[in-house]
């Protein structure tokens, strides 16, 4: 782009030298409007556009128009060779999208034409020219169930096959993306579990005995997208669906089919793509088929197909695949870093948005040398995988070789030592070294195993060999493809759904929860003993971790222990779709997450049917919350309309926008947009289908949550808070953590909400932020209340109360109980010390919690509610302990251990500093925890605390009004 800018001004000066007012036209000044026949643009807008996508989209046409204009103006002065140089220069500096020859979108069984949420137009397959088989054995049907997480197009209709059926697509020869879309539901009154089938494309086997329902259940997906890359030799791509012979009632179906031409960007024939762990090069040529299983925009947001480079690929946020509590730091490109694709690398290799964001390890070398920045991916056994890593240096401070050098590991083998992005750019001979997109390809062989699926590990670690300036690593993007075997097969086995967690107990007063299970098969080497070893390893790095917590706040480096964390199937304990691949896009917001959208008041009125009271979800101090639909009814949202008389109004409205518009994380509720017309204060959020966590715990007709599901919700919320504390440039302290501010989406994924009271935390020079006390009674940090000094440990205290609330299924405050039992934190701590905590837990959970898990969970909660913040763990430590507790539970379930007894009376649950059991002392001063102890009526943040969050009283839930009918 910089070259383009210089070129424009050179042309302008050239014009001034050659032309006189009487002899030629006046060239428009770069800041005057210039109409090029497409849109009115100034030359500055044409050349200085900040939108890489927009620039690519119009670059070809605009560049041509510009050249035509220049030729018409200077043909009497400029020789043809000079003009050709001008054209070539423009062609070199403008990034161009790939232009697919074939772009077929079939909405199977759908209307003649329909538009998806990404703006792409689909056509029906009913009566289409692509049907080459008899239609007698097929039928079309709408889905019997409508999942709010699933887009209407192309998933709400399907074509069903009872015999082999072939679509024949006339296409140009070359590489094609074939994408198959599936939504597990009943069609034509058929049982969804009977859908068992295979799919072939020309000579390649893509799927065999594939079960959509089993895959959906096992991986906790709302819908499935299978993407294949196939080379078509001739002029036809035949895609055949065949019901399985293994079941008498088997049938096949498909909801949508895409056939899109793609560039030849994934073949490997030059001998440079090596098999990891060997000196052997791997060849990927036109006889090879590929299946994309992961495509990640590392350190950035989701990128929708329409924002790809013309091949309509989806790029996902990498957060769900990070291993452990050490997230590293998301790092956008510095403003003065200019990006330029190197010679031989087409600009459509990956979107520029992939290269302008990255994830690094952080600025602290002591921490970085003690952990790996790791991702974990669940894949099929018995195949080779192409792993493509995208890099571009985004820091203006890193411009020389040996400033940031690191090693790349795949499946615990060194894929590349001393990786240096700047050195790679220098080899390519570019004039500047940062901002140069490069990629490296590796092949990993995953052997057959007794388990049909295994984990593929990717890890980065600083390489200290040549003492680089920064002990750090960087990654911008990841693509992982399964490679067809020698027979042309890509089909793996169906994943195994998790076992049902709990049996229905007739004697239990409440019904068993029939919500979707979560897939978290643990891997605990050596059982509990192995866990103890891991804890010892953590202790070795405790000093470094504590220093990191004190020194790394401004940088946003991750807190908690190093990357040495307990193992699980997917490397982390995300509560839903941990193994999410590019086969689904449902775990995050269905809208583009790279902007905060501005809505007109008319759009808001239309979305809520003019604020129809029938759509009312909640009422609180801020105002009312409505369920709404935007984008033609394709997306469900929660719309919070501020009350102009609210004492919380303007400040919290601004805080929500300022905080949430900059944050995107799997476990934070997404702010879609806002409206501020006509003095309105309206916020639009992702709709949370299952509401608040609290409404699933007590005083509800809803079935109780199984223990493992509660653990996974705790882990998800902890991840969200950990990200707030460490994942941004500055620490963000939530200040209002409670069960009504933990929301559950349609996949039961926990998301932290309500940022109206949030505050930016202390910088490196400070340990706290002095501020007026705000929060919710029962969850309020006593140290914060006493000293009015806010730290991230205030959130930890509140989260400890949440943990007890989840365990005991009772409110944080219940004035109807005896005095010593009113405060849950005090009462739970008292029972913990006495060794009788198991006597106050949710009756539904009795006999269902493994003793080791219970002990770890209770110990974690107790540490969180310590009176002094310095004695509380970081959220990273809390996250680690909760993940470990989950694995202890899973290990006990797998071994068939009974859960009859929870506590060993011979072992004290709480000891004093000398190791003696203290049956009287509490881990905090109960007299300062709330006003009830001293008879004081406190008012915090301008409202009475005694009126909030007490059992039988109005619960505090500003943000959680998204689903909760009552609020603060």
Instruction: Give per-residue pLDDT as tens, 289-330.
Output: 999 999 999 999 899 999 999 999 999 999 889 886 677 888
**57-61, 296-300, 582-586, 680-684: range with lowest mean pLDDT:** 582-586
**Residue 308: alpha-carbon gap to chain centroid:** 18
CATH topology of domain 527-585+690-954: Transferase(Phosphotransferase); domain 1 (1.10.510)
Q: Which residues of 513-539 are buried (b: 16+ CB within 10 A; e: fewer)?
A: bebbbbbbbbebeeebebbeebeeebe
Give the rounded percent of residues in the chain with a pLDDT score beyond 90: 48
Nearest-angstrom CA–CA distance, 608 and 687:
13
**38-52, 566-580, 599-613: range with lowest mean pLDDT:** 566-580
**126-140, 673-687, 760-774, 863-877: range with lowest mean pLDDT:** 760-774
Statement: residue 769 has pLDDT above 80: no
Q: Tokens 């005896």 map to which residue? A: 818
Average of per-residue pLDDT across 254-272: 96
**73-82, 134-143, 376-385, 803-812: range with lowest mean pLDDT:** 73-82
Split at pLDDT 50, 70, 90, the class of 761 is low
Q: Provide the 3-class DSSP secondary structure of residue 275.
A: strand
pLDDT of residue 472: 96
Q: How many CB atoms lie within 10 A of CB 189?
A: 7
Which DSSP helix (H) or strand (E) runs through 472?
none
Kindly report, residue by residue over 434-460, the tens digit of the pLDDT. 899 999 999 999 998 878 889 999 999
pLDDT of residue 476: 97
Q: Is 102 annotated as catalytic?
A: no
Q: How many CB atoms lie within 10 A of CB 701?
A: 7
Radius of gyration of the chain (CA): 29
Rounded to a whole number, what is the distance in angstroms from the first to the last CA of the chain?
A: 50
CATH topology of domain 103-261: Jelly Rolls (2.60.120)
Q: Tokens 């209340």 map to which residue? A: 785
438-446 vs 274-275, strand pairing mode: parallel
For 516, residues 6+ apart whose C-beta sits below 8 A from its C-beta are 217, 220, 576, 747, 748
pLDDT of residue 617: 83
pTM: 0.54
Nearest-angstrom CA–CA distance, 848 and 957:
31
Structure-model confidence comparison of residues 61 and 776, the more confident one: 776
413-419 vs 438-446, strand pairing mode: unpaired
261: left (phi > 0), else alpha (psi -120 to 50), else beta?
beta
Q: Are 717 and 802 in contact (CB under 8 A)?
A: yes
Q: How many CA atoms lie within 13 A of 785 on its CB side?
A: 22
657, β-bridge pairs: none
Kindly report, residue by residue over 92-122, the tens digit of the pLDDT. 444 578 999 999 999 999 999 999 989 999 9
Instruction: Please determine whether the domains at 103-261 and 274-483 fall in the same fold group of CATH.
Output: yes
Nearest-angstrom CA–CA distance, 165 and 238:
10
pLDDT of residue 728: 64
Q: Are 735 and 900 in contact (CB under 8 A)?
A: no
Average of per-residue pLDDT across 770-781: 70
**Residue 396: alpha-carbon gap to chain centroid:** 27
224-232 vs 290-297, strand pairing mode: antiparallel
Structure-model confidence comparison of residues 588 and 603, the more confident one: 603
Statement: residue 918 has pLDDT above 90: no
Q: How many CA atoms lie within 13 A of 372 on its CB side?
A: 18
Split at pLDDT 50, 70, 90, the class of 743 is very high
CATH tag, 597-686: 3.30.200.20
Nearest-angstrom CA–CA distance, 232 and 225:
21
Split at pLDDT 50, 70, 90, the class of 180 is very high
pLDDT of residue 2: 38
Nearest-angstrom CA–CA distance, 748 and 744:
5
640 annotated to a ligand binding site: yes
Q: Which CATH class is domain 274-483?
A: mainly beta
For 660, residues 6+ apart whose C-beta sits below 8 A from its C-beta are 596, 668, 669, 670, 671, 755
The one catalytic residue among 147, 502, 736, 795? 736
Nearest CA to 442 out of 462, 466, 417, 406 is that of 417
pLDDT of residue 446: 93
- Domain ranges within the chain, ordered by starting residue: 2-93, 103-261, 274-483, 527-585+690-954, 597-686
Which ranges constitute the DSSP H helices of 704-791? 707-726, 782-787
Average pLDDT of the residues of the chain: 76
Statement: residue 35 has pLDDT above 70: no
Q: Where are the beta strands (DSSP E) in 45-173?
A: 103-107, 113-115, 121-124, 138-142, 157-161, 165-170
Statement: residue 768 has pLDDT above 70: no
Statement: residue 706 has pLDDT above 70: yes
pLDDT of residue 124: 95
pLDDT of residue 496: 80
pLDDT of residue 516: 33
**147-161, 250-264, 474-488, 709-723: range with lowest mean pLDDT:** 147-161
479, β-bridge pairs: 295, 388
Structure-model confidence comparison of residues 187 and 735, the more confident one: 187
Q: Are 178 and 258 in contact (CB under 8 A)?
A: yes
| DSSP symbol at 202 | T
Kindly report, residue by residue over 272-292, the tens digit of the pLDDT. 999 999 999 999 999 999 999
Statement: residue 87 has pLDDT above 60: no
């Amino acid at each position: 782009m910089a070259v383009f800018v210089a070129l424009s001004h050179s042309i302008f000066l050239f014009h001034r030298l050659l032309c006189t007012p009487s002899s030629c036209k006046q060239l428009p000044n770069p800041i005057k409007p210039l109409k090029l026949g497409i849109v009115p643009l100034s030359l500055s807008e044409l050349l200085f556009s900040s939108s890489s996508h927009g620039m690519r989209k119009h670059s070809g046409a605009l560049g041509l128009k510009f050249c035509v204009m220049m030729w018409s103006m200077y043909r009497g002065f400029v020789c043809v060779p000079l003009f050709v140089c001008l054209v070539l220069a423009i062609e070199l500096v403008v990034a161009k999208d790939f232009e697919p020859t074939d772009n077929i979108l079939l909405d199977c069984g759908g209307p003649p034409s329909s538009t998806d949420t990404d703006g792409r137009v689909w056509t029906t397959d009913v009566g289409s020219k692509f049907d080459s088989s008899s239609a007698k054995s097929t039928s079309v049907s709408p889905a019997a169930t409508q999942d709010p997480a699933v887009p209407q197009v192309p998933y709400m209709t399907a074509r069903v096959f009872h015999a082999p059926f072939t679509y024949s697509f006339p296409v140009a020869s070359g590489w094609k993306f074939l994408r198959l879309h599936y939504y597990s539901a009943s069609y034509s009154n058929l049982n969804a579990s009977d859908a068992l089938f295979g799919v072939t494309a020309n000579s390649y086997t893509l799927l065999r005995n594939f079960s959509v329902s089993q895959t959906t259940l096992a991986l906790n997906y709302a819908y499935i997208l299978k993407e294949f890359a196939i080379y078509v030799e001739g002029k036809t791509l035949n895609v055949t669906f065949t019901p399985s012979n293994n079941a008498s009632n088997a049938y096949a179906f498909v909801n949508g089919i895409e056939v899109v031409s793609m560039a030849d960007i994934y073949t490997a024939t030059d001998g440079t793509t090596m098999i990891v762990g060997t000196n052997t090069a791997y060849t990927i040529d036109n006889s090879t088929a590929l299946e994309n299983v992961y495509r990640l925009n590392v350190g950035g947001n989701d990128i929708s197909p329409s924002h790809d480079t013309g091949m309509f690929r989806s790029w996902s946020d990498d957060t769900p695949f990070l291993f452990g509590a050490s997230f590293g730091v998301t790092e956008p490109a510095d403003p003065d870093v200019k990006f330029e694709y190197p010679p031989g690398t087409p600009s459509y290799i990956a979107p520029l948005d992939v290269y302008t964001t990255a994830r690094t390890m952080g600025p602290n070398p002591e921490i970085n040398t003690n952990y790996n920045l790791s991702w974990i991916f669940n894949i099929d056994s018995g195949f080779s995988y192409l792993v493509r890593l995208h890099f571009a240096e985004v820091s203006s401070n890193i411009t020389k070789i040996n400033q940031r050098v690191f090693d790349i590991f795949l499946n615990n083998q060194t894929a590349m030592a001393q990786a240096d992005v700047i050195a790679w750019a220098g080899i390519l001979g570019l004039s500047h070294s940062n901002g140069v997109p490069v990629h490296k390809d590796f092949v990993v062989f995953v052997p057959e195993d007794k388990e049909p699926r295994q984990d593929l590990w990717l890890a980065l670690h600083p390489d200290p060999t040549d003492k680089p300036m920064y002990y750090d690593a960087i990654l911008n993007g990841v693509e992982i493809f399964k490679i067809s075997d020698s027979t042309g097969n890509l089909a793996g086995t169906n994943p195994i759904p998790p076992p049902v967690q709990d049996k229905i107990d007739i004697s239990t007063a409440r019904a068993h929860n029939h919500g979707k299970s979560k897939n978290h098969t643990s891997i605990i080497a050596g059982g509990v003993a192995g866990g103890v070893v891991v804890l010892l390893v953590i202790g070795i790095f405790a000093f470094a971790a504590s220093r990191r917590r004190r020194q790394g706040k401004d940088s946003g480096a991750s807190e908690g222990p190093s990357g040495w964390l307990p193992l699980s199937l997917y490397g982390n304990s995300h509560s839903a779709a941990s193994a999410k691949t590019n086969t689904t896009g449902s775990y995050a917001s269905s809208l583009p997450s790279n902007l905060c959208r501005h809505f007109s008041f008319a759009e808001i009125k239309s979305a809520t049917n003019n604020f129809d009271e029938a759509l009312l979800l909640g009422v609180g101090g801020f105002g009312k919350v409505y369920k709404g639909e935007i984008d033609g009814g394709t997306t469900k949202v929660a719309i919070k309309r501020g009350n102009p008389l609210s004492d919380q109004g303007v400040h919290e409205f601004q805080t929500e926008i300022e905080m949430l518009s900059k944050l995107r994380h799997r476990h934070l509720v997404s702010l879609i947009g806002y409206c501020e017309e006509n003095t309105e204060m309206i916020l639009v959020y992702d709709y949370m289908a299952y509401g608040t966590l609290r409404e699933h715990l007590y005083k509800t007709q809803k079935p109780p949550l199984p223990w493992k599901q509660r653990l996974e919700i705790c882990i998800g919320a902890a991840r969200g808070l950990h990200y707030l504390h460490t994942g941004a440039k500055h620490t963000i302290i939530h200040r209002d953590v409670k069960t009504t501010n933990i929301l559950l989406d349609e996949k039961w994924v926990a998301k932290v909400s309500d940022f109206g009271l949030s505050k930016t935390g202390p910088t490196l020079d400070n340990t706290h932020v002095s501020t007026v006390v705000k929060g919710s009674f029962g969850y309020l940090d006593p140290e914060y209340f006493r000293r009015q000094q806010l730290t991230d440990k205030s959130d930890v205290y509140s989260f400890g109360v949440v943990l007890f609330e989840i365990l005991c299924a009772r409110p944080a405050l219940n004035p109807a109980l005896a005095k010593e039992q009113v405060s849950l934190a005090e009462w739970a701590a008292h029972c913990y010390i006495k060794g009788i905590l198991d006597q106050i837990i949710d009756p539904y959970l009795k006999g269902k919690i493994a003793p080791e898990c219970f002990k770890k969970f209770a110990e974690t909660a107790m540490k969180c509610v310590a009176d002094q913040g310095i004695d509380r763990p970081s959220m990273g430590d809390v996250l680690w302990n909760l993940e470990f507790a989950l694995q202890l539970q899973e290990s006990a379930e797998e071994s068939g251990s009974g859960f009859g007894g929870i506590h060993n009376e011979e072992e004290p649950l709480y000891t004093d500093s000398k190791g003696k059991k203290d049956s009287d002392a509490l881990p905090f001063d109960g007299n300062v925890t709330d006003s009830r102890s001293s008879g004081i009526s406190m008012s915090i943040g301008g409202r009475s605390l005694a009126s909030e969050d007490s059992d039988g009283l109005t619960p505090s839930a500003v943000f959680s009004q998204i689903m909760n009918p009552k609020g603060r």
